[in-house]
Structure 1
């Protein structure tokens, strides 16, 4: 059983990395099997179908994102400090995790792939993005309640703008290879938070 669990983990971790670059739809069972040293049947067997593999990859990606970004941010005090911790976590996730996410944000890639499609993978992507958006909204509302946002700031609008900055940062790092991307993100978040 331990060997099967370890093999499944190896498949998912490599699947996350490949999907962050090539997308979930572009994920080749043959390539993934070769990379983890298994047959195609041996790779797909624990999942039953490519769709179940894709869903499992999204789930594993969410676990890794929580470890890299959300858990450290949750340890920060609520308010502006937590929003800044989320920013630093996003920077780690996007630019310092080449082993897990060499292509950047797995969910951003999946969003562009599945935004106009129906089905379980689409629904899982929507669910993951809704949880991320809800986390940002909660963090901005906490900051507003603590009086740590600029006067007149709308927490929901701020969460929307933060999400845009974070998505733009992903593009700046992985598409444009902008050496100033980290500084630009920190400057943009600082302006929104009034720091």
Structure 2
């Protein structure tokens, strides 16, 4: 076997393991993901799975990296062509809702599920989830500020409040989709986002949040 073929096959195996790990973690939780279960499910030896990552935690972190990359490709990357500000915000949240409602999101929003699972458990996994969610909030706040600068939202808009409410709508949609299996959840979320962006409340609080 040539070195090039060996590297390619190792990368294919690694991607296959991560994909299956994401699927299993959807039902078992990321912490419930075991090397034994994963190996059995894939028809591999435990050593074959561990050899790709080194430890269970490194496998979990690799799965998280894959989930973040997939979310980035599926949501922000798809709306790059939309006008900055309200149109891009609306399009981005629309993509996120579609992602949660479709099967490609591994059942709802994977990052949101992991955030709930590890919210009180300090460590590398929690840190990675926090970094990913902070990056998303920065993305959203940048678009909200752009909308304010462009006159699409009132000049005294409380940017962080709008970000909070937009993310809150998405989290509510995720729960309604996953837990309640509400077929109306995606449409309700889109209407709530449209209402918020169409009539963002004027802020009367001190200027530090603007």
Tell me the TM-score normalised to structure 2 length.
0.87
Which of residues 127, 130, 137 is equivalent to 1:126? 130
Matches within 5 A, 1:88-99: 88-96=94-102, 98=103
1:29 & 1:75 partners in 2: Cα distance?
Answer: 41
8 A Cα contact 2:26 2:110, kept in partner: yes
* Relative contact order higher in (CA < 8 Å, ≥ 6 apart): 1
Which of residues 106, 127, 133 is equivalent to 1:102? 106
1:134 & 1:17 partners in 2: Cα distance?
Answer: 28
1:133 & 1:140 partners in 2: Cα distance?
Answer: 10
8 A Cα contact 2:82 2:88, kept in partner: yes
Match of 1:79 in 2: 85
1:18 & 1:73 partners in 2: Cα distance?
Answer: 29
Question: C-alpha displacement at 1:35, in angstroms?
Answer: 2.5
SS in 2 for 1:89: helix
Question: C-alpha displacement at 1:152, in angstroms?
Answer: 4.0
**Structure 2 residues without counterparts, runs of 5 or longer:** 1-6, 200-210
Question: Is 1:31 matched with 2:71?
Answer: no
Equivalenced residue count is: 193
1:150 & 1:185 partners in 2: Cα distance?
Answer: 23
**Structure 1 residues without counterparts, runs of 5 or longer:** none
2:184 & 2:105 partners in 1: Cα distance?
Answer: 20
Question: C-alpha displacement at 1:125, in angstroms?
Answer: 1.2
Aligned Cα root-mean-square deviation (Å): 1.5
2:198 & 2:191 partners in 1: Cα distance?
Answer: 10
2:139 & 2:155 partners in 1: Cα distance?
Answer: 22
Match of 1:62 in 2: 68
- Please say which structure displays the higher CA radius of gyration: 2
Q: 1:16 to 1:75 in 2, by over 3 A?
A: farther
8 A Cα contact 1:69 1:86, kept in partner: yes
8 A Cα contact 2:149 2:155, kept in partner: no
Tell me the TM-score normalised to structure 1 length.
0.93
Match of 1:159 in 2: 163
Q: 1:73 to 1:22 in 2, by over 3 A?
A: farther
Question: C-alpha displacement at 1:151, in angstroms?
Answer: 6.4
2:45 & 2:140 partners in 1: Cα distance?
Answer: 41
